[in-house]
Amino acid sequence: MKSVSQLTRSLFILALGLFSSTAFAGLPAAVDGQPLPSLAPVLKEVTPSVVNVYTQTRVRVRSPLLDDPIFRRFFNVPDVPRERVSQSLGSGVIVDAARGYVLTNNHVIARADEIRVGLKDGRSLQAKLIGTDPDTDLAVIQIPAEDLTALPLAKAGELQVGDFVVAVGNPFGLGQTVTSGIVSALGRTGLRGLEYQNFIQTDASINPGNSGGALINLRGELVGINSAIFTPSGGNVGIGFAIPSSMASYVMDQLIRFGEVRRGTLGMLVQDLTAELAGAFSMEASHGALVAELTAGSSAEDAGLRPGDVIVRMAGRQIRDAQDFYNAEGGIALGEVLQIEYSREGKIRRASLVIQAVPELAGGEIDRRLDGAVFTDLNVRHKQNNLSGVLVDELDPRSRLAREGFAEGDIITGANRQRVRNLVDLTRALEHVRGSILLQVRREGRVYIARID
């Protein structure tokens, strides 16, 4: 067996031999008849499937001076807002060559008036929006299916920490770029603004413009859709996040079939099982999702679950916390049966639950003065684990609520001195109102009263 010094000397002599030839500018294609490792053969097959996505959005802009009728009359300025065109760049992945479907990020094409796709062969094609899912930051667009190459999806559950991966995208609008690294972690959560999170973390360089691009394994299979980076400086620091291909596949199928993701509920509101809660309830479980509340008549209630039970497995997957629970619940289609395991009084029990549709809004329309806002039950969206109410999910900046100081993320907990736990409560509280509306609003831990005349 060679000593360390002998091995070092052999490697040094080999290096001298490599660089002493007349072709000093680069390494040879092979050493001792063995080809050097290269990603080129894989990338030759993969890169035609990764596209550049260009969007244009027309934004109506209005000078504050135009709100002054005296100014408009004096200068004879018409009361017509101007348009400003904003552009953005991103990436996408062809996943169905026969039908021209392309997966990308929702934030790449959000609110776009025009979407174009640039292929590696130089073609620029007009794209049609099929559907978006802001909760996972995924979207599907469609281009003419002519001479396209699709990227196969990797099998779910095969990816491991330490596997080599390659990111392909369009960073900074430079054109198609390839970077490599490894899988740094799996099941990452904690990114703001997304409901369902189960990210792949990688140290392959991901920069602005890579969003929507491909993260592939060394077999050339799609393991994730590059989505976000963690950066204190605005550039790559070796922490990038990708949406797993298994989640992307489910969302894509829903968007193609329905134009939206139709999610259901088991009828449970859960929260993280902390060490303090486990101690308070004398539980031995060290992980899981603690059942805090059950919806009357839900599948969970019918199956006999109770507040205080701890969900530890769903559909064969370990449940570590509330986010794992909601990820599993949100990834099952309506009407499907889900097998769960839960802990009660130190014993593991099992139950079969059906994913049910979220109850429709009852009791008539919400007051017209609240037009321009999209409301969502907290118990449906799971934005807060310890609150009930109605979330201001989306808000038109020109709406009445916006002018009154409301913002997206506000939580309505009361209306006209009645408690609001959900959309049904809000509707009933406003159903026969003829005068002013008094709304109790919670924002960043503080409670406010707003009057809408």
Catalytic residues: 107, 137, 211
CB 371 within 8 A of CB 299: no
Residue 197 CB-half CA count within 13 A: 17
Q: How far apart, in whole angstroms, are the C-alpha atoms of residue 138 and residue 262?
A: 14
Instruction: List the structure tokens of 420.
Output: 């609001």
Residue 255 exposed, middle or buried by CB count within 10 Å (0-12, 13-18, 19+)? buried
Tokens 């209306």 sit at which residue?
415
Q: How far apart, in whole angstroms, are the C-alpha atoms of residue 205 and residue 166?
A: 9
Q: How far apart, in whole angstroms, are the C-alpha atoms of residue 115 and residue 134?
A: 17
